[in-house]
Amino acid sequence: MHTVSDKSAEVAFKPLLRFEMDMATFLSDWQHCDQLSTFMARMISHNRADPIRHSNFFSFALNELLEVSFRGGSPQGLIDCTVYRRDATERVRLSFTCPAEQQEFYREAVSRTHQKDAIARYLNAISMDQTPNREVILLDLAINFDARVHLEKRTPASITLVVDLPLEGSIC
């Protein structure tokens, strides 16, 4: 498992935009995933070399992460999403409340994005499964968006995913 413990690297990422919302409110409407990802992508992409396409790519990735929290989250507490930037990379830090028993699932799912058989697992899933599970979504981001996925240290009843997306270099 990878954890974000390098403080100097953390400092180098500058915060761009943050939203915080009651989980109950967030979970009240599926469209929140699309609306929030579209809005945040547009806001943070304005000064990228190709803002329209950067926004499109970023929106894809953020929407998938928000959908993960929608499908796995609990209606208590908050969802907290911050987007940071360092050079060509955007970092999404997404915290949401979820049942304690799911923490191990996320830990394993994140760990699998770093394993050598990630692509084989991904291909097997898209050829066999009717609908994607949350593990496949993290694999998709790692494989198709070159994302580095991490999990922050355990906190009670919540998960914090940290996803680094080096989109700028792959778009222009």
Residues lying near other proteins in the complex (CB under 8 A): 30-31, 33-35, 38-39, 46-47, 49-53, 56-57, 59-60, 63-64, 67, 122-123, 125-127, 129-132, 136-137, 140, 144-145, 170-172
Nearer to other proteins, 38 or 103 (CB): 38
Query: Least Å distance between CB 137 and other proteins?
Result: 5
Cα–Cα distance for residue pair 137/65, rounded to 1 Å: 8
Nearer to other proteins, 140 or 164 (CB): 140
Q: Are the beta carbons of 103 and 154 closer than 8 angstroms?
A: yes
CA 164 to chain centroid, in Å, comes to: 8
Query: Least Å distance between CB 31 and other proteins?
Result: 8
Nearer to other proteins, 56 or 152 (CB): 56
Q: Which residues contact 142 (CB under 8 A, 6 or more apart)?
A: 113, 114, 118, 148, 149
Nearer to other proteins, 4 or 121 (CB): 121
Nearer to other proteins, 11 or 124 (CB): 124
Describe the chain by its helix, strand, coil percentages, rounded to 5: 50, 25, 25
Query: Least Å distance between CB 138 and other proteins?
Result: 10
3-state secondary structure of 118: helix
Of 103, 91, 114, the C-alpha closest to 154 is: 103
Q: Which residues contact 28 (CB under 8 A, 6 or more apart)?
A: none
Query: Least Å distance between CB 154 and other proteins?
Result: 26
Query: Least Å distance between CB 46 and other proteins?
Result: 7
